[in-house]
Chain A
Amino acid sequence: MEFIRNFPFFSVAVFLFSAVICSVLKPRAARIWTTAAEAVVLAFSLSVLIYTTSGDTFFRYNMGHFDAPWSNQLRAGPVEALAATSFSYVLLMSHIGGIRYAKADIEPKKQSAYCTLLNLVGAALMALSYTNDLFTGYVFLEILTLSSCGVLVIRRAGRTALAATRYMVINLLGSGLFLLGTCLFYGITGHLLMEYIRDGVATLEVTGDYAVPLTVTIGLVCAGLAIKSGLFPFHTWMPDTYGTATPTSSAVLSGIVSKGYIFLLIKIIYRVVGVDSAAMTSARHILYVFGIAGIIMGSIWAMQSAHLNRMIAYSSAAQIGYVFVGIGLGGQAGFTAALFQIIAHGLCKPLLFLSGARLSEASGDSTEFADLQGAAHRNKPAGLAFAVGALSMVGIPTLAGFAVKLFFAAAAVEHGLLVDIATLTALALSTLLNALYFVRTVIRIYTPSGNAPTNGAFAPTDGESARTRDPGLIAAAVGLTAGILLLGLMPGVVSGIISRGLALFA
């Protein structure tokens, strides 16, 4: 069993080596190799999850066998393992679900490079999940930014380069703030390992020294990560980015990349600053306000979108708002809700992007709603998958989205009247708007296209491409739907792991 303690490091290493190997493989071999690497890392993450939850324990892994504080350390407990499991599962599903589109969207000679980039995304996410060192966190944050820019821009069509530039500029602003924050943490505490910084911060809070630099540092780190994860009003890159990339990239970017940043933020709140720290509490209150604004504005913009992928992208802005509301609410219940949302949204969004791409393919490659009428009849599996994802986003019981809203409501009522009313109103508005635009879309794709108001651009027929089977997408849809149902029918299992894990997280 002791051997399992190596798995967090192996998870990062497998992806890194696999990235190097993929760059010299032929496209088909690279795809198979990458899928295998993702499956192996998923198995590693699951083993760590089972090991840590069954023993209610966590462990540290000193790189190079140097003792702390001189070592670079990994740390794995139930929460880290759960995040790693969810990230690697969604990466695997998004990859196999979008292989068909990746083949069509990406030049043949760059197919292997795409696999390299996916491996790098995986390595960075695993490192962000497990690292216990703030500067290692920064380095992998940048690796994640660069590789996710790569998976976005590799589709050489339309405005991908413009979208990627926008994505990079916003991300670089966030990285700059985070880097300065990290350096200030090192400056005022003299450490880079998370627990040691927290001890330093706790001492400073008692003595009252460096009060202003500490507040500024916490502000910089929170702002940096909030900008990178696309919290309102820094979400403007989302529609372009998610709307233009190849479906696997959209699924990976929206499902797990932005969650990787947020997971690091939660880790910093718990393990670097201390969840009860006064300065952190003020920062969390600000995040809460922006989260609420994000939920409402994201939903309104999603409703106004005329294109399917832009609608799904704007809805991501709203869902990121949910996570920040959870962080802002704080406490065991708030963080449980935030982490549950990270996992639930990580399953729903890729399902929507992958099935949405198939539906628009079955509608003459159009993403306009008018052309999508009846698309679910032209491609039944994709229609069903889209309906599951959309209804989960609305919050229908038995699906993950319902459990999310339940946890948020439960977290809100623990607070004062004002917070309670604000959170529940935002939840109600968001549910209403989600219902309006997602149910409208589901009804549209299921309305027979005989009486469709065709725009002249496309006459719906049972085209060849619509009938072609896509086993990869079906497998991914089944896998992601199973995850959504698991979270929706047995939310207690996952929330139990999270709340037990949070006790060990600090």
Chain B
Amino acid sequence: MENLFRNYEEAVALILFSIGFMTLLFHKNLLRKLIGMNIMDSGVYLFLASMGYIYGRRAPIVENGDLSAERYINPVPASLVLTGIVVSVSVTAVMLSLSIRLYERYHTLDLDVIYAAARSRREHR
């Protein structure tokens, strides 16, 4: 329990991840699924960012020629977060365009209704 409070950033990150994961898995509405995916990814980025930060150290930009590693935080998690953001933006864009196509075809974003419509139209290909 003590560990949980000491690492509250990581704990919050994992709660966010779980909320996002469940939304992506169980929600019927496509847009909400998509929001769930973004919450899930944000949870991971918060986790990475909090893992990479060390209290009392500075951003990894060399100042006054001071090259000692102890002065700066680890820049790798930040670069991973940036890469992750790029990936999730592209995925969001693709999913949004798919949602538009589904909406144009079935006039709803509720996946259950869409499945029922596809079945009733006997679309098997």
> Are A176's CB and B41's CB within 8 A?
yes
The distance in angstroms between the C-alpha atoms of A309 and B124, with both chains bound, is: 10
**A146-B90, A161-B102, A165-B30 known; A173+B21 contact, CB < 8 A:** yes
> Are B98's CB and A172's CB within 8 A?
no
**A135-B83, A172-B37 known; A158+B125 contact, CB < 8 A:** yes
Q: Give the chain A neighbours of B44 by CB distance below 8 A.
A: 176, 179-180, 183
Q: Which of A286-316 contact B (CB under 8 A)?
A: 307, 309-310
**A139-B83, A161-B102 known; A168+B94 contact, CB < 8 A:** yes
Residue of B nearest to A187 (CB): B51
| A-B contacts, CB under 8 A, total | 93
Does A265 touch B at the CB level, under 8 Å?
Answer: no
Does A367 touch B at the CB level, under 8 Å?
Answer: yes
Q: Interface residues of B: mostly helix, strand, loop or mixed?
A: helix
> Are B80's CB and A135's CB within 8 A?
yes
**A180-B47, A183-B80 known; A243+B20 contact, CB < 8 A:** no
| B123 CB contact (under 8 Å) in A149, A159, A169 | A159
The distance in angstroms between the C-alpha atoms of A244 and B118, with both chains bound, is: 13
**A180-B47, A310-B124 known; A149+B94 contact, CB < 8 A:** yes
Does A101 touch B at the CB level, under 8 Å?
Answer: no
The distance in angstroms between the C-alpha atoms of A179 and B81, with both chains bound, is: 11
> Are A176's CB and B20's CB within 8 A?
yes
Q: Give the chain B neighbours of A50 by CB distance below 8 A.
A: none
| A176 CB contact (under 8 Å) in B17, B101, B123 | B17
Does B8 touch A at the CB level, under 8 Å?
Answer: no
Q: Give the chain A neighbours of B41 by CB distance below 8 A.
A: 176, 179
User: Which has the most chain B C-beta neighbours within 10 Å: A161, A186, A310?
Assistant: A161
> Are A243's CB and B124's CB within 8 A?
yes
Does A142 touch B at the CB level, under 8 Å?
Answer: yes
> Are A146's CB and B47's CB within 8 A?
no
User: Which has the most chain B C-beta neighbours within 10 Å: A179, A186, A310?
Assistant: A179
Q: Give the chain A neighbours of B114 by CB distance below 8 A.
A: 162
The distance in angstroms between the C-alpha atoms of A54 and B59, with both chains bound, is: 49
The distance in angstroms between the C-alpha atoms of A142 and B41, with both chains bound, is: 13
Q: Which of A271-299 contact B (CB under 8 A)?
A: none
The distance in angstroms between the C-alpha atoms of A393 and B60, with both chains bound, is: 56
Q: How far is the CB of A163 from chain B (nearest CB, A)?
A: 9
Q: Which of B73-109 contact A (CB under 8 A)?
A: 76-77, 80, 83-84, 87, 90-91, 94-95, 98-99, 101-102, 105
Q: Give the chain B neighbours of A157 by CB distance below 8 A.
A: 125
Q: Give the chain A neighbours of B111 by CB distance below 8 A.
A: 165
Residue of A nearest to B10 (CB): A187
Q: Give the chain A neighbours of B91 by CB distance below 8 A.
A: 142, 145-146, 168, 172, 175
Q: How far is the CB of B29 from chain A (nearest CB, A)?
A: 12
The distance in angstroms between the C-alpha atoms of A470 and B33, with both chains bound, is: 43
> Are A183's CB and B102's CB within 8 A?
no
> Are A180's CB and B17's CB within 8 A?
yes
| B33 CB contact (under 8 Å) in A158, A169, A179 | A169
Q: Give the chain A neighbours of B25 by CB distance below 8 A.
A: 173
Does B11 touch A at the CB level, under 8 Å?
Answer: no
On B, residues with C-beta under 8 Å from A are 17, 20-21, 24-25, 30, 33, 37, 40-41, 43-44, 47-48, 51, 76-77, 80, 83-84, 87, 90-91, 94-95, 98-99, 101-102, 105, 111, 114-115, 118, 123-125
Q: Report 13 cross-chain contacts, Cβ distance below 8 Å, ordered by A residue.
A: A139-B83, A146-B90, A149-B94, A149-B98, A153-B101, A161-B105, A165-B102, A165-B111, A172-B24, A173-B25, A176-B21, A186-B76, A243-B125
